[in-house]
Amino acid sequence: MFKNLVPGAVGIKANFDQALDLAKRFGFGGTDVPVAEIANIIEKQGVQAARDKFANAGLKVGGFGCPVEFRQDEAKWKQGLEALPRLAKAAQAVGCTRCATWIMPAHDQRPFQEHFDLHVTRLRPVAQTLNDHGIGFGLEFVGPKTSRVGKKYEFIWNMAGMLELNKAIGTPNMGLLLDIWHWYTSYGTVADIKKLTARQVVYVHVNDAPKGKAVDEQIDNQRCLPCETGVIDSKSFMQALKAIGYDGPLTAEPFRKDLATLPADEAARLVADSMNKLWQCL
C-alpha cells in the first residue's frame, strides 16, 4: 500500500505538475493519472516523456477515474466508449492498472432490476476495454442511508450488492473502489474485507466521520481527515487490507471544505499528517 495524493480529493487546486511536486515534497508515495493529459503528452513527446513525469518525482502511479459518462443519455455514453481505448492505452503506457468510479445508491425513475440491467449494459464494454489494457475496474458503493432517503427506488449501497454487479458484468478485471466511509456507513465488517482477494480491491479511499452522529445520520459530503475523530475503526480496516495483500493506493477524500481555503502547502501538510497517523494503524 502507498499514500496517494489526489489534490482535487482534498480541495487543493493543482495541475499535474503541481500535484507531482506536492506529493513528492510531503512524503506521498504516488498520485493519480490525468489520462487525457498523459495521452496528449505521449502523442506529442512520446511514451518516455509521460513515464518520466512519475519517475523524475520518484512517485508511483495511482489510478484514474472512469472517463466514460454512463449515467446520462446513450449518446454521451457511446461518445465516451469511443474515446476510451486511446485513454486506456495511455494509462497502460505509464503502468497504470487501476480505474474506478462510483455508483449512486438510489434512483427516481428506474426500479432496481431495470437500473441494474442498464449498469451491466453500459459498464460491461467499459470493463472489456480496460481489461484489454490490463486495467482493473473498481466500482464504489455509496453507503449512507441519507443518500437513499427520498428516492423512489433503492439501488446498490453495500459491498455484497456491488460484488453481484461485478459478477453480472463478468469481466475478470472487475472489483471494488473500497471507501472506508462507505464501508462504515453500510455497516461493513472486517470479515467482509477479508473475504476479498487483493485483486478485487482496485482502489481505496480513506477518511473519518464526524462525532455526534449515528451511522444512519451520517451525510456523504460531511467527512473528516483519516484518523481525525476515531469514529471509524481505521485500525481494523487497514489491518484487513494488509491481511489480504492489498498493495495499491490509499487516497484521502475527507470533503472538508476548510481545506480548500488553505494554501496548497498547508493543506497538503495536513493531509500528509493524517495519512501518517493512518499508517500507524499497520
Residue recorded with cell 427506488:
153
Q: Rounded to 10 degrees, what is the CA torsion of 11, 16, 22, 23?
A: 100
* Domain locations along the chain: 2-279
- Residue 145 confidence (pLDDT): 98
Query: What CATH architecture does domain 2-279 belong to?
Result: Alpha-Beta Barrel (3.20)
Cα distance between residue 103 and residue 123, in whole Å: 11
Residue recorded with cell 502507498:
2
Q: What angle do CA 122, 127, 131 make, to 5 degrees?
A: 160
- Cell triple for 41: 503528452
Please give the full DSSP string across 125-153, using - where no structure is assigned. Answer: HHHHHHHHTT-EEEEEE---GGGTTT-SE
Residues of the chain with pLDDT under 70: none
Q: What angle do CA 105, 225, 202 make, to 5 degrees?
A: 50
Q: Is 24 exposed, middle or buried (0-12, 13-18, 19+ CB in 10 A)?
A: middle
Average pLDDT over all residues of the chain: 98
Give me the helix-helix angle, 112-132 and 159-169, nearest 10°.
60
Instruction: Tell me the sheet residues that pair with 153.
Output: 107
- Cell triple for 274: 493524517
pLDDT digits (tens, 9 = 90+) for 52-95: 999 999 999 999 999 999 999 999 999 999 999 999 999 999 99
**Three-class SS of residue 69?**
coil
- Residue 210 confidence (pLDDT): 97
> Any idea what DSSP says for residue 203?
E
Kindly report the pTM of this predicted structure.
0.98
- Residue 237 confidence (pLDDT): 98
